Amino acid sequence: MRVGAASVVVEPAAPPVRLRHVLSLSILALLVWSGLPRLRAAFRLHSAATAFADYALCMVGPTGPSLLRDNPAEFRTLVRRRLVASSPDERPFSRCAKGAREVTQSSDVERAHGGLSVSFVEYGLVTPGSPDALTLDRLAVTTRELAQLADEGWPFVRGGYTSLVQASAYAAEAPHPVELPRPGASRGVAPQRSLARCDSPKGSYLLGLSADRRSKIVRSLSPSGVASDATLSSADARVFAVSCDAAAVVVALGRPGARDVELVTCAHLGSCAKAPLPRLGSAGFPTYPLDVVRAAGVTVLAVPMHGIVRVASSRDDGATWTPFTVAFDPAAHPELRFDVQVPDRLLVTGKRVLLHGAASTPSATFPVLASDDYGASWHAP
């Protein structure tokens, strides 16, 4: 446009937003959009790693977090050890159930952690394949989610998840499960206890039939020749264990075609009375097979349960019993190999009680454990 002789040039207005700014903002938005999920995964990894460590601490104690992270097989060994040592009606992992769900996001895993000890196949009282049976495989807590979050959280997570597995200050901590004693090895035919006669320092006990052959009786004999007969059971009862000390004889009886067991204690030169068996919680009373011995007034009972041998003892002829404790678990020392795998027989030698396998040939090997406190604790002989 001209004004007089002079002219004025009007430049076109610049666009309010330049294309390079739009491009830069688009790239930034793309980075934020793609990086935000990774940032979220990084934050989730920190909380998940802590929950993972808290869970492992709750299950097996101080070594739990590092074992579940680095050595799951050893962690499972400790979990099994804790399970088999618990009482039948205990829920040993219920306190850890919430943590298991937090780690796995699985309600099935949470429910399995709330199961009774007796409901687990590994406990030894449930037959594998039973409808309501649980297994330790159902307690499926692994590092899989931590590894996935570590991958999703890159580059905000460097070095993986291992260093992040640290328990919180308020986490519940289980006692470290105590290792079972390592059994010794023996070879040959183990001593057999007579089912018809038992000798003690102060006399003997003979088992036989009454004169009318309707009853089984116990005849007590003193060193001076005094004899006394006492009725033990009906004649058809099956005797499968006899053991005595100076004060009494204990006899384990069964019935033809049944696995129920009855203990009877007969005082020296006195009468016989039933000795109540200890309960296995809601599973009821132990059944055949089992073994029993008597030493220094203590009755010791050994019950094999799918390879696990539990022991209880009584100092008042069965009126009260100690809780069952695990003396032997084949999974505790899998490196040991024997021809006879389970030590399910008891033997008294002086003041010591032996728990041993029943070998039938001189070349057969079997495990042996010894107790110097009448079944309260066991060790290699």
* Residue 124: HSE in the Cβ half-sphere, 13 Å Cα cutoff: 25
Asked whether 159 and 63 are in contact (CB, 8 A), the reply is: no
Q: Read off the tokens for 108.
A: 């099935």
Note the residue count of the chain: 381
What is the chain's Cα-based Rg? 35
Q: In whole angstroms, give the CA distance from residue 356 to residue 340.
A: 9
> Could you report the per-residue pLDDT of 325-368, keeping only the tens digit for each?
999 999 999 899 999 999 999 999 988 999 999 988 889 999 99
Helices (H), the chain: 19-60, 64-70, 72-85, 97-104, 107-113, 144-152
Q: pLDDT in tens for each of the 381 residues of the chain?
A: 444 455 555 556 555 655 555 555 455 444 444 556 666 767 788 888 899 999 999 999 999 999 999 999 999 999 999 999 999 999 999 999 999 999 999 999 999 999 999 999 999 998 887 888 999 999 989 998 888 887 877 676 667 788 889 999 889 999 999 999 999 999 988 778 899 999 998 899 999 999 999 999 999 999 988 999 999 999 999 999 999 999 999 999 998 889 999 999 999 999 999 999 999 998 899 999 999 999 999 999 999 999 999 999 999 999 999 999 999 999 999 899 999 999 999 999 988 999 999 988 889 999 999 999 999 999 999
Amino acid at 316: D
What are the φ and ψ backbone dihedral angles of 288, each rounded to 5 degrees?
A: -65, 140
Q: 75: closest CA among 140, 165, 135? A: 140
> Could you report the per-residue pLDDT of 218-229, keeping only the tens digit for each?
999 999 889 999
Q: 251: closest CA among 194, 190, 192? A: 194
Distances (CA, A) of 340 to 147, 284, 312, 345, 360: 44, 28, 23, 12, 9
In the chain, where are the structural domains located?
19-164, 184-371
Q: Which residue has the tokens 């094999």?
A: 304
Q: Which residue has the tokens 């940032």?
A: 39
* DSSP code for 269: T
> Could you report the per-residue pLDDT of 177-201, keeping only the tens digit for each?
999 999 999 998 877 889 999 999 8
* DSSP code for 182: P
Helices (H), 71-106: 72-85, 97-104
